[in-house]
Every structure is written in C-alpha cells, then in structure tokens.
Structure 1
C-alpha cells in the first residue's frame, strides 16, 4: 500500500506542476484588422474554410477574415486556386435550416457605379454552393433571416 500511495502522490504532484507551468494562450488582439476594405473592388480570393470552398471579394477582405480568425485563436486560412477550391463546393445541401441573406456587391454599368444585390437562401450551405459554383463572392458574414 505504501508504494501505491507514493506513486499516486507523485502522479498528482507532476500533474499539478504541469498545470501550473502550462502556458495559457491569449489571442486577444494579436492581429490588427485592416479597415475600410472596399467590397466593390473585385479580385477574387479562394480558400477552403471548414471543408467548404469560400470565395472572398478581394485580398483585403480575406486578410480581415484571417485577422479575425487569429484573434479568436483559430488557425489562419490559406488561399488556393479556384480549381482546387471548387473541389470543395457543396454538392448537396439540406432543404431546411436557418434562412440567410447574402450581400453581393458589384460594380455595374459603363459608369462603374457601386451596386448591391441581396439574395435570400434557405440556409448557409445553399449560399456557399451558389457563391462557389458561380464565382461570385458575398461580402462579410451573411445575416440571419430574410433580406432587407
């Protein structure tokens, strides 16, 4: 019994020592988010996010997304080619779920006017599928519920 107690005490001591010397990871504001990215400037960036191809309007918006991820202790995204990304387009989506509204900014006409298109989708998967298959980026996170 004495050896058992000694072993148990040793294991507990090492465990407490390990916990007390473990470094806590603080990610708060380790990356400064770019500001004033133009959602109308189009230079598409492709990345696979959580197993799904995501199309970003431009490098500035992509950089902001990466900063947000780093500040939330998530791993940063890597850009990839459109062809590689499209291998991860959603093929099938559920019919139900939370309705989302995607904002698709674009420049229209010969005058180069900034325009907006809002499209409602039955769920986020359908929004990602539409974006990926049509090489069109929605700006920022979609809003929940119907479009304005």
Structure 2
C-alpha cells in the first residue's frame, strides 16, 4: 500500500514538472540592464553559437547581446578562448547559405579618427567566416540585403 502511494505521488509530481516545462515563458524584460557600449573599443570576446564561432568587439557588447538573448528566452552565451572558438570557424559556406547581408565594422584609423565600414557578404555564414578568420567583429546583427 505504501509503495502504491509513493508511486502515485511520484507520478503526480512528474506531471506537475512536465506541466511547468510546457507552459510558455514570458522572458520580455527579464534583463533590464542598460548598456552603453563603445563600438570602437576592441577587446575581442569569443563564443560559440550553434556550433559556429562568433566574435564580439568587446565584453560590453557581448553582455548586451546576452541581455537581448535572455529577453528572447534564448540560452545565454559563454565566452571561450580564441583558440577553442577558431575550431568552429566556418571552413566553407554553402553557395545557397541564405540571403546576402551587410555587416558593419568599426575601427579607429592611424590618426585616431573613429570610422565605420559596411561590407557586403553573400550570406551570414560568410560574414561569420570573415569575422572569425580575421579576428574582426561586426557590430550588431548584419542587415539582410546589400550595403548602400
């Protein structure tokens, strides 16, 4: 009799746990930190997203991206070493790997002037490949379509 009660309680508890997992989560506003990151400050942060190496310009931009991910109920990213991340650089991208994108890169020239450059890529995979292989992080998410 005791075994039956225990089995019933365990089944009931399991049902409640599954019910909690199936309910939609409201992640909007979970992260309320306001970031004012300098897109020209370079202190690269490396991470692996969906088995692809992704480079962020600096820890502030990385943390800001994680805040946005948290608000979209996405898994928060973990920083890793450049060496480990580069093992996940796209070696080659499929010819039909998605729409063309325009990525924004920031830099400071030899005179200390802050400048931006937009670069066209045939897909997001190609933008990630370039950023990883050249240790040159784009800012934000590349815009779909060609640059102006």
Tell me which residue corresponds to 2:105. 104
Tell me which residue corresponds to 2:71. 71
Any gaps of 5 or more consecutive residues in structure 2?
A: 1-11
**Residue 18 (structure 1) shift:** 3.9
Q: How does 1:1-148 map to 2 (within 5 A)?
A: 18=16, 22=20, 24=23, 25-96=25-96, 97-110=98-111, 112-148=112-148
Partners of 1:109 and 1:74 in 2: CA distance: 39
Q: Considering only aligned residues, what root-mean-square deviation do their CA atoms show, in Å?
A: 2.2
**Residue 33 (structure 1) shift:** 3.9
TM-score (norm 2): 0.82
Q: Number of residue pairs matched?
A: 134
Any gaps of 5 or more consecutive residues in structure 1?
A: 1-13
Structure with higher Rg: it is 1
Please identify runs of 4+ aligned residues in structure 1 that moved more than 2 A. Answer: 21-26, 33-36
Partners of 2:33 and 2:87 in 1: CA distance: 29
Please tell me whether the aligned partners of residues 33 and 68 of structure 1 are also in contact (alpha carbons under 8 angstroms): no
TM-score (norm 1): 0.82
